[in-house]
Amino acid sequence: MKISQKGLYALQAMMTLARRYEQGAIKIRDIAAESDLPEKFLE
């Protein structure tokens, strides 16, 4: 199965959100830094 780059970015972002769920809200820049994703994608 092929997954697009956007799909991979989305999965990485969701995993970061799931790992940090108990910490409450998380800033886009923190998700981007932790997941090594471009901030522009997360806007």
Residue closest to 11 by CA, chosen among 40, 35, 39, 38: 35
Token readout for 5 is 């780059």
For the chain, what percent of residues have pLDDT higher than 70? 100
Give the residue numbers spanning the domain of 10. Answer: 5-42
Overall domain count for the chain = 1
Show pLDDT as tens, one digit a residue, over the chain (43 residues): 899 999 998 999 999 999 999 988 899 999 999 988 988 888 8
Q: What is the pLDDT of residue 42?
A: 85
Q: What is the pLDDT of residue 41?
A: 85
Q: Cα–Cα–Cα angle for 32, 7, 40, nearest 5°?
A: 35
Q: What is the pLDDT of residue 29?
A: 93
Q: What is the pLDDT of residue 1?
A: 84
